[in-house]
Structure 1
Amino acid sequence: MANNKITTLEQAIALIRDNDVVTTSGFVQSCIPEALHMGLEKRFVETGHPKNLTLIMTAGAGDSKGLGTGRLHHDGLLGRVIAGNFGRMPKVAQAAQENKILGYNLPQGVISQLYRACASGQPGLFSKVGLYTYVDPRFGGAKVNDVTTEDIVKYHNIQGEEWLFYIATKIDVAFIRGTSADPSGNISMEKEALVLDNLAQAMAARNNGGIVIAQVERIVEQGSIHPKDVEVPGILVDCVVVAPEPELHRMNYGVLYNPALSGEVRVPVEGMAKMPLDERKVIARRAAFELPPNGVVNLGVGAPEGISAVANEEKFTPYITLTTEAGAIGGVLASGSSFGGATNADSIIQQNQQFDFYDGGGLDMTCLGMAECDVQGNVNTSKFGGRLNGCGGFINISQNARSVVFAGTFTNGGLKIAIEDGQVKILQEGRNKKFLNFVEQITFSGKFAQKRKQPVIYVTERCVFRLGQAGMELIEVAPGIDIEKDILRHMDFKPIVEEPELMDKRLFLDEPMGLLAELLNLNMHERVQYDPDRNILFVNLEGWHARTKKDVDELRKTLVQACEKVGKRVASVVNHDGAKIAEALYDDYAEMIQYMMQHYYSTTARYATSAFARLKMKEALTKRGLQPHVFERKEAAHAFLEVVEG
């Protein structure tokens, strides 16, 4: 065929010139065009060319041991790297730290979206992602070393709003990957776990006059790929290379092929192994209590991954939609070498579109890991302990989710704990503190979160912190933990400590927690009791958690039903001990009280032992012109009603 684009690996790699800008596909250990990386490495080692390349990639694409982009570590091969993650290519990261190459660590979603900007001929991308982090040019501009001096991120104030402008880098060569190709270069991805940014990368190179090299598993007959199954059309592809052997076209480094990850089959998942009751499960369990029913959630690597197992164990999985930044939506999120994919996914979309969804506020909640945290609530996951790891999608996700849970052990490096009789015992403290006066690098800005009133909590195996307007507050402590000896002594700063509550005892017992009923408010009617002799409605909100406005609406519905059943106005006593109301919902809650006072209550009294809860309640009620009768003890609330009701 005159239009035959099938070629050898050597012929395709020979088209790359010195100083070219090369972008490559792949996410962590999945969907990596390994043969193309191998061919590029082989040519450079044998000939010394192409040299001084710029490498652009969104996420890490390697096994951290030398495969994937880790193959490109040879001195002289790379001159500059623009990446979301350096941890998957440690020798390249080392070269950057030693000032041997230029380097930028940009948010994964920004790089992903910049491919589209390049493809459409735009100069770059305006985004709020990265404000007040190390990416912000006022705090470093994403440069990873001293020899990197050119600014590719600019700060702008437009009509009173802060923006970052990311300058697009034109692309000369795109490495992409698919499953099948016809001789014209049409690419399908039926056996791939993810589709990532292959289309946008190919278009960015093609429209810049560059070349697109596609690695595939097989060649199929011309015209045999259904038009709607073509992920990258042949007009964008210059060379098609068939992987020389299956090992160079694995689904990921740990899995040769799994049809459940590619969506070709659906498999039973009910038999997921139960997590052992250790520090990781305690953290995951506590974080799971923040899950928004019917919400969309992203989970990070490490401790947050355990939430998926906990949700499955507690039969809550059908009531949330888990997603990955790589583009998987729904199903059971994969871990290990398959991280980024999902078993039985509902859909798999392009990575740049997933980040459009995330950046626009589509995530109801995210749970992410934390390497370091400081007095301002800043979190660092990108550069710590002498290691250049990179931010990945962390900045996009944490900055734009409606609520954020950071999860991880309180210390690390040899930490050993025991969970006995519903209590936590520290057997051996970790060598490294995580809660510091200042983090080494700001990957999440506490200041920016406070400015936008974003709900943020920090969950560990022994305590929970909340980022409030006044700073970091210790709000929960595990049973068996001494605040002074086990918490404050191992922090560089002292948090606000007023009246922290005990963490829920269910977290520390090796039995089901009843998470489903808790999160869906299935027992709401049991919280309301009416005493006809005294005409008092008793409302027990102990342990109740209002995460979204829907929770407040459900409470209102329950109270209205109870009052209408009585058929006349009632006095109410409300127990707020242990109740948690998201800071953004206090006004909605006060509006609900106002509604009940107008239509159903003759008077109401509330009590809570938490000084913080009383303060927030009084502020919200006063704002609406209501008498803030919020007492510290139940007896005081009852005494008030006796006086008022006569």
Structure 2
Amino acid sequence: MKKNKIVSADEAIALIRTDDVVTTTGFVQSCIPEALHAALEKRFVETGAPGNLTLIMTAGAGDSKGLGTGRLHHEGLLGRVIAANFGRMPKVAQAAQDNRIRGYNLPQGVISQLYRACAAGQPGLFSKVGLHTYVDPRHGGGRVNTVTTEEIVKVVEVEGEEWLFYRATKIDVAFIRATSADPSGNLCVSKEALTLDNLAQAMAARNNGGIVIAQVERIVEQGSIKPKDVRVPGILVDCVVVAPPEHHRMNYGVQHDAALAGEIRVPVTGLKKMTLDARKIIARRAAFELPPNGVVNLGVGAPEGISSVANEEKVTPYITLTTEAGAVGGVLASGSSFGAATNADAIIDQNQMFDFYDGGGLDMTCLGLAECDGAGNVNTSRFGGRLNGCGGFINISQNARKVVFAGTFTSGGLVTEIDEGRLRIVQEGRSRKFVAAVEQNTFSGPFAQERRQPVLYVTERCVFNLTQAGLELIEVAPGIDIGRDILAHMDFTPVIENPIPMDLRIFRDEPMELLADLLNLNLPDRVSYDPGRNLLFVNLEGWQVRSKGDIDALRQVLETACLKAGQRVNSVVNHDGFRIGENLYDDYAEMIEYLSKYHYLTTTRYATSAFLRLKMQEALSRRGLAPHVFERRSEAHAFLEAAEREAAAQQALADVIPLRAAS
């Protein structure tokens, strides 16, 4: 006979024992089983049991003021926490910092995927995520304090490559959340913003002989949920608790939004236009890195502004925004709804989204930064006396094809002003972000360099690029003095060669025509042909190669110009301010090889950046091509003129030889 699994919250919580391992769901402020957290807190306060629990969770699940997992701060309730985020339960974080509980801060995607390992009875997870960060056991193993001594992360070698092995922790109790349940415990999530890891968590507890407690909004008739709508089958569920409305809000700021739940699609005429301030400057500059037709993840904080800028510049149809919580497409939500999306194309489970991210599916991510050092290391997890946690930062930053870190240059009271297209620092922030050494390494700059991952650091006043020599200052905002406004507020000196001005359009309160740049619509305007000298001049000053698609677009434009000339041409290319990811140099050199084979008589190029010249020369030399990369335009033209004179002399000699033979 089918069992009626509907019980009260108190009855369900009474099944939890001291020393149990409990996992709970929720992302930031969404999809939190608040009634279950409240009932667990109530039982412990009234009876002192259950105690010494281990709490396992992925993202933070609370409002940072005591709700969600913040309710579990009472002394003795928790003995250990394994989480990606501590910032949304500050009292629990403080207990960990005070050595009153044991704690581990692991990547969000790793914990999410470990649920599946637990469900399958596997000992743990092999992953490269976390190598060379504080999660690596050579740098702390993710332990958050000195009382935490047990190692749950190991470095292992598999077929000559380093991996991290994360040990799975068996789960006794799973708190999950859904919208509807039938008396047998079959669950659907029709009114939820996200699905997260409900199914994997339920399997992990069930297959360990534990219990699964589901919080729902309502009970429906047996068999009324369509089979494909059941996200967690009743065979995995032990208890169903109907929560009061105040404990089953979509998130702490929204009772219910049908568009966020995917129940309806609503007209989206555009996000509210951002005020032109430091935050918008950062978002505008970062938006220049967006890959057309690419898949993008945006972090919380300054990176969120990219959504607004993309909408304002009408580039949203050409990119797909995603969240690590599982939203694909649509308009990403912010504030209390962060992680969800209006008019999403799809909502997938969190662990599956991290499979996609870890496998290299992201074309670009833009994330915040709290600290950065000269080697390009970034800290977002522990700083200023706070244990915040890494969240999904490590998974995302290590595996995206391109990383843009975005944030103000300093923090704490920074005041800026934009006047007639120039930026002025009215009041400097109290805290430096560019420091001699980061307090905790959440992102390894040297490891990114080793893997040839393009990394950019965007602030309101300047832009840095990660090179083999460390951070290089490549762009400076108009009105900013390098010595007074940049170097004076850094604990290290970056590489400085020939930084160029940040695009002036960023500092004008009018559309930037970003779409034309991203789609390379203005690329033909950069090419001119002088038939008198048979010279093709290519002005790539300030242009950037974001993807192989940009190289293909340039090849097409140059080949069209050469074919129109009707003969092989001499070419000079201006690479001043030109930017290209280290992983694309070989593709760029292949394009030059093709043009040299079919369209060029000779070609030369110039760039003031010594690093660019070196990398270009290396790439061309690998293909057996003469580099011909000069520092100045005059040198490039002088080389070309010499080549023209030599060609003319050879032609004259060729004309004379037949005449002598005839005489």
TM-score (norm 1): 0.98
Paired residue secondary structure (1:322): strand
User: In structure 2, what is the Cα distance between the partners aligned to 1:230 and 1:250?
Assistant: 21
Aligned to 1:362: 361
Moved more, 462-471 or 354-363: 462-471
1:203-602 matches, cutoff 5 A = 203-243=203-243, 245-602=244-601
Q: Please list the CA deviations of residues 564-617 of structure 1 after superposition, one character each: whole Å capped at 9, or x if unmatched.
A: 222211111222222212121111111111111110111112222333333322
1:108 aligns with 2:97: no
- The count of corresponding residues between Structure 1 and Structure 2 is 645
2:175 paired residue number: 175
- The amino acid of 2:63's aligned partner reads D
Is the 1:373–1:434 Cα contact (8 Å) retained in structure 2? yes
**Matched-pair contact (CA < 8 Å) for 2:608–2:632:** yes
Structure 2: how far apart are the matches of 1:618 and 1:210?
Answer: 62
- How far does residue 335 in structure 1 lie from its aligned partner after superposition? 0.4
- Amino acid paired to 2:214: A
For the residues of structure 1 that align with 2:305 and 2:102, how far apart are their CA atoms? 37
Q: For the residues of structure 1 that align with 2:513 and 2:640, how far apart are their CA atoms?
A: 34
Superposed displacement of residue 11, structure 1: 0.9
Cα pair 1:499 1:611 within 8 Å, conserved: no
Bigger Cα displacement from structure 2, 12-21 vs 555-564: 555-564
Q: CA deviation at 1:158?
A: 2.3
My pick for the range that moved more, 632-641 or 211-220, is 632-641
8 Å CA contact 2:279–2:305 kept in 1: the answer is yes
SS in 2 for 1:259: coil
**Deviation, structure 1 residue 533:** 2.1
| CA deviation profile, 1:204-225 (whole Å, cap 9, x unmatched) | 0000000000000000111000
Task: Tell me if the contact between 2:296 and 2:321 (Cα under 8 Å) persists in the aligned partners.
Answer: yes
Alignment of 1:39-188 (within 5 A): 39-188=39-188
- Structure 1 partner of 2:603: 604
- Deviation digits for residues 47-74 of structure 1, max 9, x if unmatched? 1111111100001000000000000111
Q: Distance in 2 between matches of 1:489 and 1:118?
A: 51
Aligned-partner residue type, residue 212 of structure 2? V
Task: Report the residue type matching 1:58 in the other structure.
Answer: T
Distance 1:2 1:424 in 2: 69
> Which amino acid is the alignment partner of residue 65 of structure 2?
K
Q: Say whether residues 1:38 and 2:48 are aligned partners.
A: no
Distance in 1, matches of 2:610 and 2:499, equals: 10
Q: Give me the whole-angstrom Cα distance separating, in 2, the residues matched to 1:274 and 1:489.
A: 33
Contact 2:286 2:458 in 1 (8 A): yes
Question: CA offsets per residue over residues 479-524 of structure 1, 9 Å max, x none?
Answer: 1111111111111111111111111111111111111110110122
- Contact persistence 1:573–1:605 (CA under 8 A): yes
Shift of 1:226: 0.5
**Which deviations, in whole Å up to 9, do the C-alpha atoms of 1:448-505 show, x marking residues without a partner?**
1111111111111111111111111111111111111111111111111111111111
In structure 2, C-alpha distance between the alignment counterparts of 1:161 and 1:634, rounded to whole Å: 45
> 1 CA distance for matches of 2:49 and 2:145?
25
Where 2:6 maps in the other structure, the secondary structure is coil
Q: Deviation string for 1:358-407 (max 9, x for gaps)? A: 11111111110000011221111111000000000000000111111111
Given residue 502 of structure 1, which amino acid in structure 2 is its aligned partner?
A: P
Matched residue SS, 1:262: coil
Distance 1:499 1:265 in 2: 52
Identity of counterpart residues, as a percentage?
A: 77
Q: Deviation at 1:620? A: 2.0
What residue identity is the alignment partner of 1:446? Answer: G
Where 2:256 maps in the other structure, the secondary structure is coil
CA distance in 2, matches of 1:585, 1:8: 59
Q: CA offset at residue 619 of structure 1?
A: 2.4
SS in 1 for 2:7: coil
Shift of 1:630: 2.3
Task: After TM superposition, give the deviation of residue 2 of structure 1 in Å.
Answer: 4.2
Query: What residue in structure 2 maps to residue 202 of structure 1?
Result: 202
Aligned partners of 2:329, 2:314: CA distance in 1, in Å?
15
Could you tell me which runs of 5 or more consecutive residues in structure 1 were left unpaired when the two chains were aligned: none
SS of 2:396 mapped into structure 1: helix
Letter of the 1:644 partner, please give it: A
For the residue of structure 2 that corresponds to 1:639, the secondary structure is: helix
Counterpart CA distance in 1 for 2:468 and 2:293 is 29
Contact persistence 2:216–2:242 (CA under 8 A): yes
Checking the alignment, whether the CA contact within 8 Å between 1:604 and 1:629 is kept in structure 2 is yes
- The 1-side partners of 2:270 and 2:359 are apart by 35
Residue 156 of structure 1 aligns to which amino acid in structure 2? V
Q: In structure 2, what is the Cα distance between the partners aligned to 1:369 and 1:161?
A: 30
In 2, Cα distance between the equivalents of 1:63 and 1:550? 42
Give, in angstroms, the shift of residue 559 of structure 1. Answer: 1.2
- Distance, in Å, in 1 between the alignment partners of 2:22 and 2:165 is 22
CA contact (8 A) 2:2 2:184 kept: no
- In 1, are the aligned partners of 2:270 and 2:311 still within 8 Å (CA)? no
User: Which residue of 1 is the match for residue 612 of structure 2?
Assistant: 613
Tell whether the 8 Å contact from 1:458 to 1:465 is kept in structure 2 after alignment.
yes
Shift of 1:159: 2.5
**Aligned AA (2:94):** Q
- The CA distance in 1 between the partners of 2:162 and 2:93, in whole Å, is 31
Residues 261-306 of structure 1 show CA distances to partners (whole Å, capped at 9, x for unaligned) of: 1111111222311111111011111111111111111000000001
Decide whether the 8 Å contact of 1:382 with 1:391 is kept in 2.
yes
CA distance in 1, matches of 2:631, 2:138: 46
CA contact (8 A) 1:297 1:321 kept: yes
Residue 638 of structure 1, CA deviation = 2.9
Which TM-score applies when normalising by structure 2? 0.96
1:17 aligns with 2:17: yes
Alpha-carbon offset, residue 201 of structure 1? 0.2
Whole-Å separation in 2 of the counterparts to 1:491 and 1:524: 37
Deviation larger for 34-43 or 150-159: 150-159
Larger radius of gyration: 2
User: Alignment partner of 1:436: what SS?
Assistant: coil
1:640, CA displacement in angstroms?
2.9
Q: Distance in 2 between matches of 1:100 and 1:265?
A: 47
Q: Which moved more, 1:369-378 or 1:172-181?
A: 369-378
Q: Name the residue aligned to 1:4.
A: 4
- For the residues of structure 2 that align with 1:143 and 1:64, how far apart are their CA atoms? 22
- SS of the residue corresponding to residue 368 of structure 1 reads strand
Instruction: Tell me if structure 1 keeps the 8 A contact 2:26–2:60.
Output: yes
Please give the alpha-carbon distance, in whole angstroms, between the structure 1 residues aligned to 2:505 and 2:564: 34
Counterpart residue number, 2:649: none
Post-superposition offset of 1:534: 2.0
